[in-house]
Structure 1
Amino acid sequence: MAATPVDASIRVPGSKSITNRAFVLAALSAGPTLIREPLDSRDARLMLDALTAMGARCERVAEGVRVHPVTTGAETAATPGETVEVAMGNAGTVARFTPALAALGTHDVRFDGDAAIRRRPVGPLLRALAELGADIDDDGRGAPPFIVHGRGGLPGGSVELDSSASSQFLSALLLVAPATERGVTVRLVGSAPPSEPHIAMTLDMLRRFGARPERSGTEFHVPPAPLSCPDYTVEPDLSTAAPFVLAPLLAGGAVRVAGWPDETTQPGDWLRSLVGELGGSAVLDDAGLTVTGSGAVRGADLDLHEVGELTPAVAAVLCFADRPSVISGVAHLRGHETDRLAALATELGALGGNVTETEDGLRISPVPLHSGTFRTYEDHRLVMTGALLGLRVPGVEVENPGTVAKTFPGFVPAWERLVNRPRD
């Protein structure tokens, strides 16, 4: 628990979402790409390992990571006739973004990962890839493990896609589209995908690498095009900054987040307006974002459909608000690293909280919390949730904090510096 108001400066690592999109686009480019300030975490390393298994060459250099592209018929570590293995861990971006790349190659590639990844939805994407010409064997499960039989290219074409469970389905098709023979046209069906900012991120990065994506409402088209971006710099991960941004609301004081961009497609940028709605202040200048708070939190009814990944941290803060609050629009969180809505209701309840699940979110009524173990279900965002709770509740023990290495390997020491700063 923070004994005094917080007063800290923090620099968070590169965005996971941007890093792994950049790695994929670099692997599809005509020449090598130097990716500066990428995230170095389990998910990012799994992506690089997957690209390497399929024939890319990825080398760490002083400035970041240089990715040399995969080419049709590229040599892999596998001998002729041998199946290439890609380990996805529990990385959604690896599970969704790399299967199409395997279709461009000439090997059979088997995808599998942690037990949790087998529960995360991927069926709509696999069906769409099959309609675009990929040869995929999943035994009808629509889930890992599955095998992509490389045929030396992907025809492309038009497809309907239900991306309501994850915007990554749509992004996966758009990212590979420039490398297909005819390009790809996607018409969305079903409910709107969560996290519109991540779709905007994908379109923006495609343009940065030389593609020409077009959008008309729920229809997207990306024609074939050579990709090239010799030098690309990754922004700081604003969603990973969430516990630091929100800490002054619970403990009082100030936190400065260095390098916060003036303009970005990252959904985490919404934190700037959220801080004011919950009773704090956020000021952006050339040095970054400075957040101040008094330790008093205003309750709110929040639709987080576009920024669902912030839900765990926001839920922790709302447990200490001045009135009941509601989080809505995040039913898709049931298909993340764990069922985040069920996990939050269960674990906050175990500490004495009054948190109930709704059809698409949580209802939170502030009551005193007590000490105990906060289980994290191998979910990095839940580790951050438990850390926030500890600012106000003595004796909260966060289970398996090392899980946070998925997106921020240095989170634990950075958080310890925040809460244990020397007294004046």
Structure 2
Amino acid sequence: MTVVAVPGSKSITARALFLAAAAEGTTVLRRPLLSDDSEGFAEGLRTLGYRLDQQPGHWTVEGRPAGPAVEAAEVYCRDGATTARFLPALAAAGHGTFRFDASAQMRRRPLGPLTTALRELGVDLTHELAEGHHPLTVRADGIKGGALTLDAGLSSQFLTALLLTGPLTADGLDITVSDLVSVPYVEMTLAMMRRFGNDARRVGDTFHVPAQPYRATDYLIEPDASTASYFLAAAALTGRTVTIPGLGSDSLQGDVRFAEVLAAMGAEVDLRPDSVTVTGPERLRGVTVTMRDISDTVPTLAAIAPFADGPVRIEDVYNTRVKECDRLAACEENLTALGVPVRTGTDWIEIQPARPRSAAIACHGDHRIAMSFSVAALRVDGGVTLDDPGCVRKTFPGFHDALAALRGDWGL
């Protein structure tokens, strides 16, 4: 059995930083993720005037329920979707003029459902180049609150940004959603808000967020379940055993359910409250699976799918087309380069069994494509070549070293 220490959750780190910044008092975040995304979020908070001290193993944040400590700022969000979507909402609850911009990759990703909702709430904001995209200027004068309707079918982050902001409004928020993907991420947000003292609740399709102030706390960030999927998949692919401590059935993250997909493919899975262990079978089975709520693990499954004994079909994942890249198209492109028969539709991909050949992988600047096909390389004669191996710094700068150590332990 190999034990792999997975770095902190990207999603939890981002939410915890927002909550700590918005809370009354000083919050300590333990084991936060150290990556380009989390550093970008922290840098954005500092640019907005929040005090944040980063020490090895823990970060300390002094909260400001009144909003940013500066009257004007320009925030560069890098490639981070949580930074680019959460921080404009946080700034809108304060007072001042705040401009947000991001990388070319992030500029292409949608922002419109969130900014439309903020405008409904009376926030004065302008998209400078293309409606519904960065760059964006927010002229903030607080948010009164009230009721609104939101389409969260492209990303749950739009809803999460509004939920997190709700306690900073004068009257709270009632948000009715017309569509929603990645439900576990929303449940994670609500659980974390309650931990910081706000009793937000979902009733049917409506989320009720009272104007109840956040309170600072001491918060331990669990390992990243999406990152764990690569090591669990590696075990399933090679017939080895991997244990991830600190991540299990009590996890806030829905992506821990990727282990259930591996179980359906014949892997032995031991899911305990605080750990998950996967042992790979002699050969994986084909499977048809809906991954709407765990779509960040779609590339992980797609990359190991050729090694199954039957077709692997992944359904209801349209939102993967509006991530760092069009992930369905990127998986199709790279599987084809590996010599694997594959078909895609608007919201699905189907992969046939094959013996992949060595190939160059087009990462499209997407960390999940790079990491997923690196796992597939464990079973590809001659391996694969990544055109952008450094893109993994977005969530796991040490990924290649960790996978190399695993390969060494297993004598591959």
Compute the displacement of 1:286 (Å): 7.4
What residue number does 1:187 align with?
A: 176
Instruction: Give the 3 Å change call, closer, same or farther, for CA 120–84 of structure 1 in structure 2.
Output: same
- The Cα RMSD (Å) is 1.7
Instruction: Give the 3 Å change call, closer, same or farther, for CA 423–136 of structure 1 in structure 2.
Output: closer
2: distance between equivalents of 1:287 and 1:19? 19
Q: Is the 8 A contact 1:55 1:70 kept in 2?
A: no
What residue number does 1:243 align with?
A: 230
Aligned to 1:301, the other structure's residue is in SS state strand
Compute the displacement of 1:369 (Å): 1.5
Aligned to 2:105, the other structure's residue is in SS state helix
Instruction: Give the 3 Å change call, closer, same or farther, for CA 62–253 of structure 1 in structure 2.
Output: closer
Q: Is the 8 A contact 1:54 1:70 kept in 2?
A: no
Q: Is the 8 A contact 2:65 2:213 kept in 1?
A: no
More divergent stretch after superposition (161-170 vs 93-102): 93-102
Alignment of 1:106-125 (within 5 A): 106-125=95-114
Aligned to 2:99, the other structure's residue is in SS state strand
Query: Could you tell me the TM-score, scaled by structure 1's length?
Result: 0.93
2: distance between equivalents of 1:246 and 1:353? 18
Compute the displacement of 1:399 (Å): 2.3
Compute the displacement of 1:421 (Å): 2.3
What residue number does 2:90 align with?
A: 101
Q: Is the 8 A contact 1:347 1:375 kept in 2?
A: yes
Compute the displacement of 1:73 (Å): 6.7
What residue number does 2:134 align with?
A: 144
Compute the displacement of 1:269 (Å): 1.4
Q: Is it true that 1:129 corresponds to 2:118 in the alignment?
A: yes
What residue number does 1:4 align with?
A: none
One-letter identity of the residue aligned with 1:117: M
Runs of 4+ aligned residues of structure 1 deviating over 4 Å after TM superposition are: none
What residue number does 1:410 align with?
A: 398
Q: Is it true that 1:233 corresponds to 2:223 in the alignment?
A: no
Relative contact order higher in (CA < 8 Å, ≥ 6 apart): 1
Compute the displacement of 1:52 (Å): 1.2
Q: Is it true that 1:210 corresponds to 2:200 in the alignment?
A: no
Instruction: Give the 3 Å change call, closer, same or farther, for CA 74–24 of structure 1 in structure 2.
Output: closer
Instruction: Give the 3 Å change call, closer, same or farther, for CA 229–137 of structure 1 in structure 2.
Output: same
Q: Is the 8 A contact 1:55 1:71 kept in 2?
A: no
Q: Is the 8 A contact 1:208 1:229 kept in 2?
A: no
Structure 2 residues not aligned, in runs of 5+: none
Instruction: Give the 3 Å change call, closer, same or farther, for CA 91–205 of structure 1 in structure 2.
Output: same
**Pairs aligned (count):** 410
Question: Out of 53, 66, 72, which is 1:72 matched to?
Answer: 66
What residue number does 1:340 align with?
A: 327
Alignment of 1:8-407 (within 5 A): 8-72=2-66, 74-76=68-70, 83-139=72-128, 141-151=131-141, 153-189=142-178, 192-285=179-272, 288-395=275-382, 396-407=384-395
Instruction: Give the 3 Å change call, closer, same or farther, for CA 73–14 of structure 1 in structure 2.
Output: closer
Query: Could you tell me the TM-score, scaled by structure 2's length?
Result: 0.96
Structure 1 residues not aligned, in runs of 5+: 1-6
Compute the displacement of 1:316 (Å): 1.1
Question: Percent of aligned positions with the same letter in both sequences?
Answer: 39
One-letter identity of the residue aligned with 2:49: G
Compute the displacement of 1:144 (Å): 0.3
One-letter identity of the residue aligned with 2:153: S
Compute the displacement of 1:74 (Å): 4.7
